[in-house]
Amino acid sequence: MEGVRVSLVCALLLFVVSSIASAAIVEHTFNVQNLTISRLCKRQVITVVNGSLPGPTVRVKEGDSLVIHVINNSPHNITIHWHGIFHRLTVWADGPSMITQCPIQPAGHRYAYRFNITGQEGTLWWHAHSSFLRATVYGAIIIRPKSGHSYPFPKPHKEVPIIFGEWWNTDVVALEEAAIATGVPPNNSDAYTINGLPGNLYPCSKDRMFNLDVVKGKLYLLRIINAAMNMQLFFKIANHKLTVVAADAVYTKPYLTDVIVIAPGQTVDALLHADQSIGSSYYMAAHPYASTPLVPFPNTTTRGVIHYIGGASKTRRTKRVLMPKLPSFFDTPTAHRFYSNLTSLVGGPHWVPVPHHVDEEMLVTIGLGLEACAKCPNSKFAASMNNHSFVLPKKLSILEAVFHGVDGIFTPDFPNQPPVKFDYTDPNITQTSPGLLFVHKSTSAKVLKFNTTVDLVLQNHALLAAENHPMHLHGFNFHVLAQGFGNYDPTRDRSKYNLVNPQFRNTLAVPVGGWAVTRFRADNPGAWIMHCHIDVHLPFGLGMVFVVENGPTKSTSLPPPPPDLPRC
């Protein structure tokens, strides 16, 4: 018996030592600066990281620690958000401006973001979280299994980031400032991009197209990120199918499809089997999924090319390239089929079962409305959650106010239910109840006790226009238990809950004119914003904050701010 104990102790020590040995500290320096580049026949000044668009890819293994030194040499205030990272007790590094930190000011000011990668594998991304700078300040985060561990799918021959973006032929910061001042949505983008390149359907872009060389018979892992500012996208590759194996850095049950639908903020990992003829070429293409025909959108297409090389064909041939047939811009059934068919890989690496006990139940309406403005000729566009239209604080970040006990920065009064119940998806209801259109401007937070399990029903409304909203929660993943169209009815819809293998993700596209039920456990103290990832909607107020209180121990309590935290 003593020998068994010794063996077990030795095995445990070996495991701990090997885990420590396999972890690394990964450091990067991000120099935020302006850059002049040519796109769409025009020279344009943009803000980028390390002189490139997209910015640098951060490659780590699960268990590593990251230290990223951000130096702001741009003329704008900046913060960087590490989208989808859990930030266990490192909420000071989450990055949303005026939520967890004041922005890093220009003229060489800096801040070191320090955090661990724990319990996550797959594709995430980083981006600016202050003003519209996210249009050009973004890049991929690739998290591989730690040494000695493998993917729960065949090892790919190559891994390829596919990052969608949007391009404006104008100053995006000035664009946002004008939108906020006038209450009118900003102009639509001039192009979509793949890895910073618009593709040959746009003017002056014949040679500005992403090209991918593949070898027949090989397997490729496409790490797909929608970094576009405002548009959900359909994505296809001519004559190929893709197998989805992860979403938002959570492994999924393999899902075979010929089309990917991806909302701003989301990531999808998909396997591409290169099974076509050597010497052939195929377009990959993306264009918008526009959930409502009432809202103008840029109806253009970005594309790149896959070339089959090998054998006698060691270089790309110039021949006819096959174009995929993309769904209609308004094809909600195809979008909903993709979004609702993904499920988690039960028993896979870092799988998290659904909590069954629920402590708090919330029904939160989301959508667009109006802000009354006495000095304006017309009312301004606004957006809200439960009729609370979120306003960022000006003097101090919410997290600093929480930690230091400063009053007057936010109000802990975000409601569990909408203030008025109505037929949320009736597009004509404002004809008889016009007062429903007007929002309440506030900096509202919902305070949760540590380890509270929350059922959060997100209900779209149609007061101005029913629209699919991609809702992103910082600091947590949530299980997506069910989703559907119309008004949520607990009596009818609870029977639809998937409590076995639901999606577990950080960004959810709530169906147009519909609802989604999410569940998460608030086991990470801090201040965590939840907001629509259509960037035009956030400054209009489509957000709120969860303040999670400290747990009973030091290891479950918010640590003090780092000494280099930027000051307002």
Three-state SS sequence of 462-482: CCCCCCCEEEEECCCCEEEEE
CA–CA distance, 307 with 389 (Å, rounded to integer): 48
Listed as ranges, residues in the chain with pLDDT below 70 are 1-22, 311-318, 377
Q: Note the pLDDT of residue 22.
A: 63
Q: Note the pLDDT of residue 465.
A: 86
CA–CA distance, 483 with 566 (Å, rounded to integer): 40
Contacts of 364 (CB under 8 A, 6+ apart): 385, 386, 418, 456, 457, 458, 459, 544
CA–CA distance, 389 with 65 (Å, rounded to integer): 36
For 76-117, give the DSSP string: S-B-EEEET---TT-GGGS--BTTTBPPBPTTT-EEEEEEE-
Closest CA to 141 of 160, 157, 154, 126: 126
Half-sphere exposure of 277 (CA within 13 A, CB side): 5
Q: Are 338 and 232 in contact (CB under 8 A)?
A: no
CATH class of 360-556: mainly beta
For CATH 2.60.40.420, the residue range(s) in the chain are 21-149, 151-345, 360-556
**What's the CA angle centered on 138, arms 369 and 229, to 5 degrees?**
25
CA–CA distance, 349 with 351 (Å, rounded to integer): 6
CA dihedral 262, 453, 344, 476 (to 10 degrees): 50
Contacts of 494 (CB under 8 A, 6+ apart): none
**What's the CA angle centered on 207, arms 201 and 211, to 5 degrees?**
90
CA dihedral 222, 227, 232, 234 (to 10 degrees): -30
Q: Note the pLDDT of residue 87.
A: 96
Q: Is the peptide bond before 434 cis (omega within 30 degrees of 0)?
A: no
Tell me the pTM: 0.94
Q: Note the pLDDT of residue 334.
A: 98
Q: Note the pLDDT of residue 316.
A: 59
Contacts of 375 (CB under 8 A, 6+ apart): none
CATH class of 151-345: mainly beta
Q: Are 72 and 108 in contact (CB under 8 A)?
A: yes
Closest CA to 526 of 480, 568, 473, 479: 473
Closest CA to 371 of 382, 358, 362, 360: 382
What backbone phi and psi angles, to 5 degrees, belong to 540? Answer: -80, -10
CA–CA distance, 323 with 281 (Å, rounded to integer): 10
Two tokens, residue 134 = 């996210």
Q: Note the pLDDT of residue 345.
A: 98
**CA distances, 234 to each of 143, 335, 472 (Å):** 25, 8, 19
CA–CA distance, 212 with 194 (Å, rounded to integer): 11
β-bridge partners, 548 = 448, 526
Q: How many helices (H) and strands (E) does the chain have?
A: 5, 32
CA–CA distance, 224 with 242 (Å, rounded to integer): 12
Q: Are 57 and 441 in contact (CB under 8 A)?
A: no
Mean pLDDT for the chain? 93
CA–CA distance, 188 with 279 (Å, rounded to integer): 38
- Straight-line distance from the first to the last Cα atom of the chain, in angstroms, rounded to the nearest whole number: 62
Given CATH 3.40.47.10, say whether it is the number of domain 21-149: no
